[in-house]
Structure 1
Amino acid sequence: MGVGSVNPVRLGAVGYLNARPLTWALDRAPERWQIRYDVPSVCAALLHAGEVDLGLIPSIEYLSASDYRFVPGVGVGSRGPVASVALFSRVPVASIRRIAADTSSRTSVALLKVLCRHRFRIAPELVPHGPDLQAMLRGFDAALLIGDPALDADHAALGAQKVDLGEEWTAMTGLPFIYAAWAGRPGAVDDGDVAALQAAQVEGTASTDAIAEEYGAGDPAATARAAVYLRHNVRYGLGPEEAAGLQTFLDYAVEIGAAPRRRGLEFF
């Protein structure tokens, strides 16, 4: 569509803190980008329905269409602890039988299923549940939370342990994990748009102090936690190593039945 287009590029973007470095700069160019913010699953639904040109979608959603392409070099990932995708358990992991699962991202649910089978060696029942940790742990052995609810959860007060799924993935595979990336169909964006999205990531990752202050909203402790999270937990980019981790995850997702067919990675 490009900078000279009459209509802005329609984006479906995740409203979580971890995605903010990708959208921080885009918000200041409304003539070029029309952004709708929501949870990851809704961003994916908007893309599938053709209501946005690009979606910052959970990585597993790439397999939902045969023609999706990723924006090269741009992604939300981790290599080691991510802090915001976690299993909270009130029993030892080996004893987990039922998990209340926040289904805001199919990627996180699929990652949990992969880890349950291949790392934890358990086969629990996963039941969809709203992201309320206290309510989740009231009726289940464990709970899956993602995004800001996972960051903010006071699990210790509830007597629960926190199992970081990003850390467990890298321990199992030796690879980074990509939670979300910009994706769309061929022709959705041009080379200028791709370059602008890549530049926005560079600007956003250089602006983590300002983003943390925005998130903290005057609370120094929340601001400090956000700054540590953005600097040390989340990794931004989608280079060769991240692509290898992403392809490995997608192949696992097909193997466990969470996605229909294998696909190699394709980019704009």
Structure 2
Amino acid sequence: MDKIKVTAVSYLNTKPLLYGILNSEIADQIDLHLDIPSVCAKKLNSGEADLGLIPVAAIPELANPEIISSFCIGTNGSVKTVCIYGQCPIEEMESIYLDFHSRTSVELTRLLLRDYWKLNPELIPASPGYIDQIKDKKGGLVIGDRTIGLDQKYPFVYDLGETWKAHTGLPFVFAAWVSNRPLPESFINGFNEAMKKGVMAIPELILIIPEQEFDLEHYFTHNISYELDMKKRESLTIFLNSITGGVLPETTKNSLVC
């Protein structure tokens, strides 16, 4: 049997999920590649991958998406590694650079600026090296491991997970395991067992991951929430409806149903 091509994010927050895959009974069935979120989405859309941990904003673009796992990259409040940074309050920012790594965080920024903060700064698609341009009245959305240490550098930090919770009262899903074609049920069951194994191994992982500039245990167990439960599915539906103007493809609607 051909191996199932899997693309996943290489950020710190995926370490438990990747650990689960690499130490599972289905590891030899998987051809795993690590990419930034936007590339994960492109590979799944083009057929280069069969399964991907992709930014949820990309789900409506897929012809036949199916969320195959009850695990995700989510948060139930402060996520810590998806933030807008600046040297001035967000109300005074004239422009905001948008991280090029993930469309979900960009769409979430647009939504919160419009519906929560009621602000309309210029939004600038960022390119590599843009973090150095976050100064004066220019803010910047930064995601993933590049956020580490930035909360000491910038006096104003706006956590998008925390802001979404304030706006909706709900958790948020940044990335989900999505397939673009039917996968064997036996593989899906084994994959979910691998995810569960990885999350349960967090105490062991903390001991072997190089020391970070923040509390890794708190990050894995409080900032990141890995279970894709009903509240997260409700939140995901609200988010996708918001960014598509309420016009979700039927295939996307079906993928959101447990």
Same fold (TM over 0.5): yes
Is contact 1:77-1:180 (8 Å) kept?
yes
Q: Which residue of 1 aligns with 2:227?
A: 237
**Secondary structure of the structure 2 residue equivalent to 1:75:** strand
TM-align CA RMSD: 2.2
Q: Which residue of 2 aligns with 1:209?
A: 203
Q: Which residue of 2 aligns with 1:145?
A: 142
**Secondary structure of the structure 1 residue equivalent to 2:176:** strand
**Secondary structure of the structure 2 residue equivalent to 1:155:** helix
Is contact 1:74-1:197 (8 Å) kept?
no
Q: Which residue of 2 aligns with 1:155?
A: 151
Cα distance in 1 for partners of 2:191, 2:21 equals: 8
**Secondary structure of the structure 2 residue equivalent to 1:74:** strand
Is contact 2:87-2:135 (8 Å) kept?
no
For this pair of structures, how many residues does the alignment match? 254
Give the TM-score taking structure 1 as reference length. Answer: 0.87
Is contact 1:212-1:223 (8 Å) kept?
no
- After TM superposition, give the deviation of residue 176 of structure 1 in Å: 1.0
Cα distance in 1 for partners of 2:254, 2:80 equals: 27
**Secondary structure of the structure 1 residue equivalent to 2:8:** strand
- After TM superposition, give the deviation of residue 153 of structure 1 in Å: 2.9
Cα distance in 1 for partners of 2:155, 2:213 equals: 25
Alpha-carbon displacement from aligned partner over 1:14-49 (angstroms, at most 9, x marks no partner)? 001112222212123541111000100000111111
Cα distance in 2 for partners of 1:249, 1:214 equals: 36
Q: Trace 1:1-268 onto structure 2 (pairs within 5 A).
A: 6-28=1-23, 29-130=26-127, 132=129, 134-138=131-135, 141-150=138-147, 152-157=148-153, 159-187=154-182, 189-216=183-210, 219=211, 222=212, 225-255=215-245, 263-266=252-255
Alpha-carbon displacement from aligned partner over 1:170-223 (angstroms, at most 9, x marks no partner)? 111011100001111232x1111211221122111111133334432xx3xx18
Alpha-carbon displacement from aligned partner over 1:211-253 (angstroms, at most 9, x marks no partner)? 334432xx3xx18622220011100121211100000000111
**Secondary structure of the structure 2 residue equivalent to 1:12:** strand
- After TM superposition, give the deviation of residue 160 of structure 1 in Å: 2.9
Alpha-carbon displacement from aligned partner over 1:65-113 (angstroms, at most 9, x marks no partner)? 2311111412110111000110112111112221111110000000000
**Secondary structure of the structure 2 residue equivalent to 1:179:** strand
Give the TM-score taking structure 2 as reference length. Answer: 0.90
- Name the aligned partner's letter for residue 96 of structure 2: I
Deviates more, 1:109-118 or 1:71-80: 71-80
Is contact 1:74-1:181 (8 Å) kept?
yes
- After TM superposition, give the deviation of residue 138 of structure 1 in Å: 3.7
Is contact 1:62-1:68 (8 Å) kept?
yes
